Amino acid sequence: MSHNSSIPLYKTVLTFRVAWAIIAIFAIDSLIPLGTSKALLVGAAAVGVIMFSRLAHSRLTNVGIAAISIAIIATHDIAFWIAQWIAATTGGTGFGIDIIKLHSGTCLLSFSVCGVASAIFWRARWAILAEVAAFFSVAISLFAGHRDFHLDKPKILNSLAWQLRVDHVTMLIIIGSTLLVTGAVYLYCASLAIRPRSDQVTYQRAAATRQWITSTLVCGALAALIYFIQQMVYAHFSAMVLARAANGVGMGSSEGVSPLSFQSALGSTNQPAGLVRLEGDYGNNPFSPMMYMRESALSSFNGKEMVFAGRAYDSDLPLVTTRDSFSRTEDAELGQRTPLVQSVYLLADHDHVFAVDYPVSIVQLKNPSPKRFKGTYRAYSIAPAYAVSSLDAAQVGDPRWSDDIRGHYTAPHPDPRYTELARKLTEGLTNPIEKVRALTDHLSRTAIYTLTPNHNTKPQDDPVSPFLFGDHRGYCVHFAHAVVYMARGIGIPARIGTGYLTDLSQAKDGHILLRMSDRHAWAEVFVSGIGWVPFDVQPDQVESHAETQVDSKLLEELMGVLEPGEEILPKDSAKSEPGMEEPETVWIPTQATLHTILLSCIAFLIAAKLLLRNGWRIAPTAALRLRLGYIALASYLHDIGWSRRYGETRSEFSQRCTPAALSEVTSLLLKKTYGKDALPTHHEINCAILSGERRLKQLSGWTKTRAALNPASLIRLFTGGNW
């Protein structure tokens, strides 16, 4: 194989190809287990890449390379055919030979695919773009499962986000940016790498530096794409995810603001949100096997939708952050309840605590694994213990309410259709609980559960009317609003509860794994002597749903992290407890940090180029000044397309260059190296270098711009190229 000054770049591309082959094998094995040792497959792939790259740079024709490939495969098959024939004639079973053949065949496939692809890469220029296009196509197809906010798909994305302890949107941005950067660097190096002429058998190298403009433009476009992804896509979708979360139920309890979304829900996602351990039996759960854990409530109408009313009304909510403590006196008027203690270990960021109704105490816990849990607390609740059937004769509202509070919870929707429909559905019924059940039963029969209702409404329009008075397609947010509007229309105090609805049948030893898909919104009615009672719609018709199975392995793993009998911390010592410190997470750079890194890299490259061009001016000795002066002029010529060929002397190179900028410096350098005369003086060296610079300044403005912007000389400098 021929060699020249581009050997370092050739080795860089070869290293890229081997690395990509290794990554591809591990990725394929994770999706489709290959059954063969990955070490053997990686070794075969590396040998294939290196061997066929050398063949591509030899005098062999394409037909010759294809013949070698076929010969290797044929030799493999013939060798095993002979081995099986010998085993059969000697009375052996040949079972072991078949196993070896199976594994060697997989290795041969890895060798052949990677090898032939490398040969095509070096012999066909179109192969660069084809490979990059194939790489991104496969990557996009693999990670396209997260569309429509299915943030747990593909599984590798969910696993990486969990292992690195970052949110799924950040994980997507990291993966996308990494793929783009890797593809850009590879495309740049591959397009500059010298390759054989496709129209000649003898190996000749093209002028690589003449391709830098196209390569730089392509890489610049990809870099701009990465930047806009980081600036726009991440900012947009991260805000959307935090606002909406799963099933259209987001987080937050800002007065006058709703955390709910009507247009589309995030959908099914197994992203872990928290681990709940019930510190005792809850066999009298009225909603078994389901359990409601309230985070917030929406009881005020802002003219469009239900929003958080503030502490003045919904006083039963703790409304404290996950790092604060909370306590209050039990409400003696609330009966048919039982004490229930829940230890909560947060796996995702939460604005406020959540617990089973009615929480009277929130206390911080020691964090058993700060690297894994974002916060821990223990909630003491007076949980519902009534029988649902016992509510039939109950009254609604709290006798202690003032007229203002009662009016707040019974304020009807301004659209009279809600009241008219509620009266129609409850005609003949006198008990308020029976009326509410009639409303929920009606929606359970007629509603169609879908995560993508796609109602065309303007921002100021009522988002519930297209559901209730239209196609009946929606999800929990629509159902809860519809029930509350209709209940209030007939004088029943109602509000919307938000938080988690979890299935206890998927719990293990009292441990419940909450997922983002468990986030839920439901209607609540205040029953006298009981408190706020959920009245949830359970549609018979399901178009798309967010139900997912709990990851039992993850649940068991998290259970193993917990320690029995978690100790409750005193309120005043929670902040000083080491376990309550901010958990360590993988460092994710901010926008300001990224900008600083980018500017620092640009400044470093500019400084390196200035030093490359002008380093001779500060050289302390004449010998070093002569050497650096030659490099300064040679690097300038390299950036405009003139490079020393392999085996070419400095004298021959200086004579070949059209701008004769190196002639005088080369003459002095040769005299210094091979001559017996004294070392040239500083003045002679300065004159020779400045003479070369004057000749270069006579070039066109476009050529000088190329020399200033072209990074080819820096690449050659950093890859150890010889000037």
The total number of residues written for the chain in this structure: 723
Taking residues 461-482, report their average pLDDT.
93
Answer yes or no: are the C-beta atoms of 293 and 354 closer than 8 Å. Answer: yes
What's the confidence (pLDDT) of residue 531?
Answer: 93
Instruction: Specify whether 214 is located in the same domain as 330.
Output: no
Q: Which residues contact 683 (CB under 8 A, 6 or more apart)?
A: none
The conformational region for residue 580 under phi > 0 = left, psi -120 to 50 = alpha, else beta, is alpha
Instruction: Specify whether 130 is located in the same domain as 118.
Output: no
Instruction: Specify whether 661 is located in the same domain as 694.
Output: yes
Domain membership of residue 485 (yes or no) is yes
Q: Which residues contact 630 (CB under 8 A, 6 or more apart)?
A: 650, 662, 665, 666, 669, 723
What confidence tier does 379 reach under pLDDT thresholds 50, 70, 90? very high
Taking residues 445-453, report their average pLDDT.
89
Number of domains in the chain: 4
DSSP 8-state class, residue 532: E
What's the confidence (pLDDT) of residue 158?
Answer: 65
Instruction: Specify whether 526 is located in the same domain as 635.
Output: no
What confidence tier does 229 reach under pLDDT thresholds 50, 70, 90? low
Domain membership of residue 613 (yes or no) is yes
Domain membership of residue 567 (yes or no) is no
Is pLDDT larger for residue 722 or for residue 605?
A: 605
Take residue 447 and report the two structure tokens written for it: 């509603």
The string of pLDDT tens digits covering residues 310-361 is 888 998 998 888 888 899 999 888 989 999 999 999 988 888 899 999 999 9
Domain membership of residue 577 (yes or no) is no
DSSP string, 258-295: --B-SS--------EEEEEEESS--TT-TTTTEEEEEE
Instruction: Specify whether 134 is located in the same domain as 107.
Output: no
User: What distance lies between CA 501 and its chain's CA centroid?
Assistant: 26
Instruction: Specify whether 197 is located in the same domain as 169.
Output: yes
66, 96, 123 - which closes a domain: 123
Domain membership of residue 583 (yes or no) is no
Instruction: Specify whether 475 is located in the same domain as 616.
Output: no
Is pLDDT larger for residue 133 or for residue 213?
A: 133
The string of pLDDT tens digits covering residues 614-656 is 988 888 888 888 889 999 999 898 888 888 877 788 888 888 8
The string of pLDDT tens digits covering residues 187-203 is 666 665 555 544 443 33
Give the bridge partners for 497, in sequence order. 297, 522
What is the dihedral angle through the alpha carbons of 276, 279, 285, 290, rounded to the nearest 10 degrees? 20
92, 123, 154 - which closes a domain: 123
The string of pLDDT tens digits covering residues 105-134 is 899 999 998 888 888 888 877 777 787 777
* Degrees, nearest 5: CA angle 131-135-136: 125
Pairing relation of β-strands 448-449 and 541-542?
parallel
Domain containing 703: what range? 591-718
Taking residues 251-271, report their average pLDDT.
70
Instruction: Specify whether 469 is located in the same domain as 402.
Output: yes
Instruction: Specify whether 112 is located in the same domain as 144.
Output: no
Taking residues 194-217, report their average pLDDT.
47
Q: Check pLDDT > 50 for residue 184.
A: yes
User: What distance lies between CA 574 and its chain's CA centroid?
Assistant: 33
The string of pLDDT tens digits covering residues 539-571 is 998 886 656 678 888 888 888 888 765 555 444
Instruction: Specify whether 81 is located in the same domain as 142.
Output: no
Instruction: Specify whether 162 is located in the same domain as 86.
Output: no
What confidence tier does 162 reach under pLDDT thresholds 50, 70, 90? low
Point out the least confidently predicted range of 89-93, 588-592, 709-713: 588-592
What confidence tier does 487 reach under pLDDT thresholds 50, 70, 90? very high
Q: Check pLDDT > 90 for residue 536.
A: yes
Domain membership of residue 691 (yes or no) is yes
Answer yes or no: are the C-beta atoms of 258 and 244 closer than 8 Å. Answer: no
Give the C-alpha separation, 366 to 386, whole Å: 33
Domain membership of residue 677 (yes or no) is yes
Q: Check pLDDT > 60 for residue 152.
A: no
What confidence tier does 250 reach under pLDDT thresholds 50, 70, 90? confident
Domain membership of residue 256 (yes or no) is no
Instruction: Specify whether 597 is located in the same domain as 641.
Output: yes
The conformational region for residue 24 under phi > 0 = left, psi -120 to 50 = alpha, else beta, is alpha
What is the residue-averaged pLDDT of the chain?
A: 81
User: What distance lies between CA 420 and its chain's CA centroid?
Assistant: 48
The string of pLDDT tens digits covering residues 657-706 is 878 888 889 888 888 877 666 778 888 888 999 999 998 888 888 888 88
